[in-house]
A and B are shown apart, each in its own frame.
Chain A
């Protein structure tokens, strides 16, 4: 495993790392091209085999006996322990593979975005102006972002966490990222508040027993989120009980009722949902791992 790890790793900023990255890119491009050219019938077994072995690692990782209190340079006692050692040593490497594959999905996304919007823009299809703005924004963000990043990692560069050391790339990056992208993100999300209010006003009606129970529960939870209301009701109850900390009526403060609902109604319900989701995910995971799912490969 040490050999495997050293084959796949190299010191940062070394030529070995550059060669490995370029080699991996070329190998991946050839593999994807070969897979896309392969007949549909032969594609399925290839994908199924790769999926099975990729999944097998984590199945074994979780189910195989794990080495306990392992010392450095410890030699395994038997073959079972040897596999356990290997799985534990291999896991960080596999995790890095996972990160790289997940990261490369970003490249796939960029490719897909470019192919759709470049075509739309060049052929002046409907709403081509929006595609143009999207492409321009993407290029501007990428160029400014890389410019800023290269300056940041350059040897002997000033501390760019300090705004006093900022130049054009840093200000431009801050304007594009924090000043525009993030603010638009926040604005988009804040629109939900309007829909929630409008939907609550129009749909939250006590038309049945169930709706009344739901509305009452929602009202208690909403009021419990308002600290001032919660505090005042607690004070009121405390005064009624004559400041007796053991008074039975203390169980009926808004805080106590809301906590009781969270602990005794909400948490068990969510646990039940989680169990259901977990079992469903396990079943789905098995189907994907064993390639019993029909879609996605032959297309």
Chain B
């Protein structure tokens, strides 16, 4: 086979063959849960440390702005967030500002994590007592402004089912009864697949600590806020979820700490004295552990395809004639 022919073959792989290869390399690894060697990124470490050090008696606002179109990343983010908060008994308020479908998708995840806790013999996270549902707000910019001005009026009129099965104002729930202003909230976490973190940052920065759990596509847009200190932490895409699952498994220590809970414990270069114990014996590695392995194969396929295409192009390139003729 001469080089010209090889070049043409490398450049002319049919679309159907590429698609078939992608289906195989992306789906077969999903059947295996593999602990991929990984070094968590500092923004994800900062998010994990924040989630594990916020005072448990103050609620967290969870703005869930994703649907199953980004389930590969956002669902893992949501699950990791819920597992950490539920294990620390942090109460939270769920609301959405980007998509009318988002609240129900988030409720489904909460139901599934609750079922997981039940199977593990842990207490269920009860609606009204441990978390409340503030629903969907079509005008996020207006809501964020109102939250900055007066959180009680921003969420005024929103009701949820109490322990007795009747609807009641969410500010009467144990979750929000002590919240008078946005500064009483420990953290606002935005799980998002669009630019909602921009809206929140513009209106709520310095009023409440903000954290982002975004898709890989939204990572570059959200990262400048972390670099400027406007976000306390950020988990980007599938790697971000895997970072969180790894930290849940092995814990995190500050750089001054010599004794580690586990040989694989992650060291945070932004913290000195902290020790965050791993959630030993609990379900830490889950969705990301399966998807991340698969992502490696899909990425490898893409890199190989790009290299093959370029080699093909070089091999078929006609040599330049001397004198520019």
The answer to whether A231 and B38 have CB atoms under 8 Å apart is yes
Nearest chain A residue, comparing its CB with the CB of B168: A12
> Does B161 lie at the interface of the complex (its beta carbon under 8 Å from any beta carbon of A)?
yes
Q: Is residue B229 within 8 Å, beta carbon to beta carbon, of the partner chain?
A: no
**In the complex the two chains form, what is the Cα distance from A270 to B197 in whole Å?**
15
In this assembly, does A40 line the interface, its C-beta being within 8 Å of a C-beta of chain B?
A: no
Question: Contact at A262–B101, with CB atoms within 8 Å?
Answer: no
Instruction: Classify chain A: how many residues form its interface, as a range.
Output: 35 or more
Q: Mark B38-54, 1 if CB is under 8 A from A, else 0.
A: 11010000000000000
Residues 213-245 of chain B, each 1 if its beta carbon lies under 8 Å from chain A, else 0 = 000100011011001000000000111001000
Q: Which of chain B's residues have a CB closer than 8 A to the CB of A267? A: 223-224, 227
Say yes or no: is B315 at the interface (Cβ < 8 Å to chain A): no
Interface residues of B in 55-71 (CB under 8 A from A): 67-71
Q: Is the CB of A205 within 8 A of B239?
A: no
Category for how many chain B residues contact A: 35 or more
Q: How far is the CB of A121 from chain B (nearest CB, A)?
A: 25
Contact B306 A95, beta carbon cutoff 8 Å: no
Kindly supply a per-residue 1/0 record for chain B positions 154-198, scoring 1 wherever the CB is within 8 Å of any chain A CB and 0 otherwise: 101101010011110100000000000000000000000000000
Which stretch of B79-87, B142-150, B204-212, B278-286 is in the interface?
Answer: B142-150
A79-96, CB < 8 A from B: 88, 91-96
Within 8 A of B (CB), among A184-227: 185-186, 188-189, 193-194, 196-198, 200-202, 204-207, 215, 219, 222-223, 225-227
**Are A153 and B167 touching (Cβ within 8 A)?**
yes
Residue of A101, A197, A219, A274 contacting most chain B CB atoms (<10 Å): A197
Most buried by B among A94, A194, A227: A227
The answer to whether A201 and B13 have CB atoms under 8 Å apart is yes
Contact B169 A12 (CB under 8 A): yes
Residue B105 is within 8 A (CB to CB) of chain A in the complex:
yes
Contact with B along A252-263 (1 / 0, CB 8 A): 000100010011
A227 to chain B minimum Cβ distance, whole angstroms, is 3
Q: Is B290 an interface residue (CB 8 A)?
A: no
Which B residues touch A232, using CB under 8 A? 37
Once the chains bind, are B221 and A201 in contact (CB under 8 Å)? no
CA distance A153 to B164 in the complex (A): 12
- Asked if A158 is an interface residue, CB under 8 A from chain B, the answer is yes
Binds B, one of A22-30, A45-53, A122-130, A174-182: A174-182
Among A151-169, those with CB < 8 Å from B are 152-153, 155-159, 161, 163
User: Smallest CB-CB separation from A183: which chain B residue?
Assistant: B68
- Inside 8 A of A185's CB, which chain B residues have their CB? 67-69, 101
Q: Is the CB of B156 within 8 A of A92?
A: yes
Partner among B18, B111, B115, B146 whose Cβ is within 8 Å of the Cβ of A197: B18
Complex CA distance for A274 and B220, rounded to whole angstroms: 12
Cβ B146 vs Cβ A156 within 8 A: no
B contact patch SS: helix
- A227 and B313 contact, Cβ closer than 8 Å, known pairs A157-B161, A266-B223: no
User: Taking the complex as formed, is B295 at the interface, i.e. its CB lies under 8 A from any CB of chain A?
Assistant: yes
- A276 contacts partner chain B, Cβ-Cβ < 8 Å: no
B104 CB within 8 Å of chain A: yes
Stretch with Cβ within 8 A of B (4 or more), from A102-110, A111-119, A291-299: A102-110
Contacts of A95 in B (CB 8 A): 139, 142-143, 145-146, 154
Pick from A156, A206, A226: contact of B310, CB under 8 Å: A206
Q: Which 6 A-B pairs have the closest CB atoms?
A: A227-B38, A102-B138, A95-B142, A98-B142, A92-B153, A98-B139
- A selection of 26 A-B contacts at a CB cut-off of 8 Å is A12-B157, A13-B167, A91-B146, A92-B154, A99-B139, A102-B138, A155-B166, A157-B161, A177-B104, A181-B101, A183-B68, A185-B69, A189-B70, A193-B26, A197-B19, A206-B313, A222-B302, A225-B237, A225-B238, A225-B239, A225-B295, A227-B39, A227-B239, A230-B38, A266-B220, A270-B224
Known interface pairs A158-B165, A197-B305; 10 further A-B residue pairs with C-beta atoms within 8 A, sorted by A's residue number: A99-B139, A99-B143, A153-B167, A155-B167, A157-B165, A159-B161, A197-B18, A197-B19, A215-B306, A225-B238
**Residues of A bordering B, CB below 8 Å:** 9, 12-13, 61, 88, 91-96, 98-99, 101-103, 105-106, 152-153, 155-159, 161, 163, 177-178, 181-183, 185-186, 188-189, 193-194, 196-198, 200-202, 204-207, 215, 219, 222-223, 225-232, 234, 255, 259, 262-263, 266-267, 270-271, 274
